[in-house]
Structure 1
Amino acid sequence: MTATVRTVLGDLDPAELGVCDSHDHLFLRSPRLPGEELDDQGAAAEVLRAFAAAGGRALVQWTPHGMGRGGATLAGLSRGAGVHLVAATGLHQAVHYDPDGLADLYDGLAGLFTAELTTGLRGAPAGTRAGLIKVAGDYHGLGEHTRRVMAAAAEAHHATGAPIAVHHELGTAAPDVLDLLCGRYGVPPRRIVLGHLNRLPDLRLHRHLAASGAYLALDGPSRAHHATDHHLFDTIAALAEAGHAAQLLLGGDTTTRGARHSPGPTHLLTALAPRLAREFGPALPHQLLTANPARAFAAEWAAP
């Protein structure tokens, strides 16, 4: 079976994915971020046009079910900008949802995730499918909601082959996530993307996690997460020197309206990529922004 990247416009040969922002948000809504919603289709289109003009060819949106992911508009935005978009199913932490709505979802989570991966996103035109499952850990642990969602994510992964992307609160609980998803539920580590690890600058831990075979997303040069910038290159250097360059991904992770244009996804290409080339040579930015995402987000999709 041939591996493909599942975009909102259909399945894509990984070789065609191109330069990729591996973790970002065009749309996002949460009660934890009042007044900072990403809900403007025109602004999203502007972001994508700027990203494309800088050489970007793909963007992976980690906004999961129930958080205003803009599913009805993603296909049109992708066509208009000429940028491949990968959408997410899954659920975030419970604090991002109405409790009553969550209670209604719990019994059918695995079926919901599987349907959004194989048939289409709820509320989107037919055929606008998710290409990954987004889940989230808790701060230094995994609570009941998290374990329930991850069990459903693992079931949907086994039904479809989809990769699983994980939000780690302040970079914590990644070993717990791997123990649960891989140890208990049998998800291969290479199908897991561990996000936000740069928010906990523990290089020994990062090397341990990389040794599992999982991908590590070093995301967040947006204004909302700028505190991680000063150790990003030390983290990349340490992991590359340890032989894990093929598992590293970069993303902007813009989560608020105020951070949307400062600096936005183009920063990966106009600032970080040139500096990576100067520091480590031209092969590394190509690997982190093009070669690695093509493998991390490709799957041998099971038939619906």
Structure 2
Amino acid sequence: MSVARTVLGDVDPADLGVCDAHDHLFLRTPRLPGAELDDPAAAASTLGAFAAAGGGSLIQWTPYGLGRHAAGLAGLSRATGVHVVAATGLHQAVHYAPEVLAAVLPRLEDLFVAEVTDSIVGTGVRAGLIKVAASPAGLDAHSRRVFAAAATAHHATGAPIGVHLEPGTPVTDVLAALCGRGRVDPRHVVLGHLERYADPAAVRAALDAGTFLALDGPSARHPEASARLPRVLAAVIDGDGGDRLLLGADTTATGTGPGAAHLLTTLRPMLHARFGAECADAVFVTNPRRAYVLNRPAREGASHGSAEAGR
């Protein structure tokens, strides 16, 4: 049975509605001092504005150990009526203290599986996405370890895998490590940040592989990528990739960016005007229904209930 695993329980993917496919309500990392997303009021405002613009679901890509605020996500979802999907997984090594990595790396598979099938410890909330990341130079030993654990956890849980990419990371190497030799079906992989690549060959490689592509909305932190976004959107759609295209706001709760609602007040009308209503609906509605689902293993119990029961 295919479901979308939200912080309030499993829902029919059709119930996700209009989706912000890549965002962070909360994020805290020593790699980005002073840029913490750690304010529940700001997160509530972001979700509220998104809901008012017609938003139905938001995928939070914040993984293990980076201030997910998982315990608070259910309350935010319930208060705003927006479905929220939480992530397990692990970011690049630079985002963690060495002692954290030493403790968690040997048990990654068990951690990822437990956070999808049981709960994020102490929260009662289950993750619906496994987040991994490539390093700027490519795939280092840390990335390969995390990728391998994510593949194992995917096969155990059915959870999709979201991949944080850096400008210049060889997309073919990422695909080979994660999907090569039958590891993970590319249809269960979402590649993020491809609009940050100046080389169109990276986009072409992702399209040829059959993965989903989660592009970001305008970002004050990445102005060059924001300027490139319309060209990449056109390249994907003209390259017959419109059925795998997703859009997210990515890190909007700081108040410095246009926000999740901007996806629906500006980008969705732009897609509608330039590529038609069918394309706009695919990007925000029908594509996320296929990208962010998992096949619930029969051994999982029903004690977690459904989102409808939690609301």
Aligned to 1:223: 220
1:169 and 1:256 mapped to 2: Cα distance? 22
TM-score between the two structures when normalised by the length of structure 1: 0.95
Give, as a single letter, the amino acid of the residue that structure 2 aligns with 1:68.
G
How far did residue 257 of structure 1 move? 2.7
Aligned residue for 2:136, secondary structure, equals: coil
Give, as a single letter, the amino acid of the residue that structure 2 aligns with 1:281.
G
Aligned to 1:283: 278
2:260 and 2:88 mapped to 1: Cα distance? 21
Matched residues, number: 299
Deviations 1:186-238 (A, max 9, x none): 10000000111110032233122111111111114232223212222221222
TM-score between the two structures when normalised by the length of structure 2: 0.93
Compare relative contact order (CA 8 Å, sep 6+) and give the higher one, 1 or 2.
Answer: 2
2:105 is aligned with 1:106 = yes
Aligned residue for 1:65, secondary structure, equals: coil
2:87 and 2:292 mapped to 1: Cα distance? 11
Correspondence list, 1:70-219, <5 A: 70-124=69-123, 126=124, 128-170=125-167, 172-184=169-181, 186-219=183-216
**Runs (4+) of structure 1 moved beyond 4 Å?**
none
Aligned residue for 1:102, secondary structure, equals: helix
Is this contact kept in 2: 1:154–1:187, CA < 8 A? yes
Query: Which blocks of at least 5 consecutive residues in structure 2 are unaligned?
Result: 301-311
2:18 and 2:218 mapped to 1: Cα distance? 17
2:268 and 2:240 mapped to 1: Cα distance? 20
Is this contact kept in 1: 2:22–2:214, CA < 8 A? yes
Deviations 1:91-111 (A, max 9, x none): 000111111111011111000
Is this contact kept in 1: 2:196–2:228, CA < 8 A? no
Change (3 A) 1:46 1:255: closer
2:242 and 2:77 mapped to 1: Cα distance? 29
1:51 and 1:222 mapped to 2: Cα distance? 17
Is this contact kept in 2: 1:23–1:217, CA < 8 A? yes
Aligned to 1:64: 63
2:52 and 2:252 mapped to 1: Cα distance? 22
Is this contact kept in 1: 2:5–2:11, CA < 8 A? yes
Is this contact kept in 2: 1:150–1:181, CA < 8 A? yes
1:267 and 1:252 mapped to 2: Cα distance? 8
1:7 and 1:185 mapped to 2: Cα distance? 28
1:185 and 1:56 mapped to 2: Cα distance? 35
Deviations 1:174-197 (A, max 9, x none): 211110111156100000001111
Change (3 A) 1:142 1:93: same
How far did residue 32 of structure 1 move? 1.2
Deviates more, 1:234-243 or 1:27-36: 234-243
Deviations 1:43-62 (A, max 9, x none): 11111001000110100000
Query: Which blocks of at least 5 consecutive residues in structure 1 are unaligned?
Result: none
Percent identity over paired residues:
56
How far did residue 141 of structure 1 move? 1.2
Aligned residue for 2:285, secondary structure, equals: helix
2:296 is aligned with 1:301 = yes
Is this contact kept in 1: 2:86–2:127, CA < 8 A? yes
How far did residue 123 of structure 1 move? 3.4
